[in-house]
Structure 1
Amino acid sequence: MDFTKAGIARKLQLEELECLRIEAYENARIHKEKTMTFHDHHICKKDFQEGDEVLLYNSRLRFLPGKLRSRWDGPFKVKEVKPYGVVELFHPQSGATFKVNGHRIKKYHSYKSPKELEVFLLEDAPRGGES
């Protein structure tokens, strides 16, 4: 066995292994960028304005029974939006104000029923032989 040929073969194997490692690293970087872009694209921007109605996430509800109970309390009104994601809320019934993290609230979309409602009474039409 020739040691020089074995040495050259070993160096080629190491070179091939290094190329595979670099390719795997590049593929992982591309996958991470695509995943991050997809994630960032589907994030809803939470821009709250003064006077908006919001719901507050109740994190303590998980210890209480009733799995069908909603984890969102409210609606509350936004009194002031402060820096670093802090939002000051106002409870209309009690008049209390308190500060929460902006990640714990979401916009409240109230249902507005139509003011006018048309009613059509349907009558059976007379049949072919009956009058």
Structure 2
Amino acid sequence: VSSTAATIPGPLQAVYYATKAYITSWSNALWREVQGTGVTVSCLMPGAMATGFAAAGGLDDTKLFANAVSPAQVAKEGYDGMLAGKINVVSGLVAWQKPLISLSPMMPRKAMLNFVYDQQIAGSAK
């Protein structure tokens, strides 16, 4: 399990975001390495989910977790994506987040970093 955090740098959670980027890269490489063996690899990349993670990390009052989705929804989409043979299964995003994640590699880096920073500031969900 990776995260949509893998697609962008994450100020205030730099190690988390970098770790998720590593997991995605590693999973994608494994996908190719095991081709033809009967083993498959899919990388689940959920957005913010309604779990204990936000509360434990002091993020429950942030814009990032204001639209957190159900883990059951993400698990179902991940399972379905795996059965469909997808390499990366992006799940659990609300409508406005989907194009943002798709376009993030093309967005100006400083603007993206400022946006992500703003999403993670405690009290920003108000």
Q: Does the TM-score normalized on the shorter chain lie above 0.5?
A: no
Mark the structure with the bigger radius of gyration. Answer: 1
Q: Shorter-chain TM-score: which interval?
A: under 0.3
TM-score by length of 1: 0.19
Higher-helix-fraction structure: 2
Higher-strand-fraction structure: 1
TM-score by length of 2: 0.20
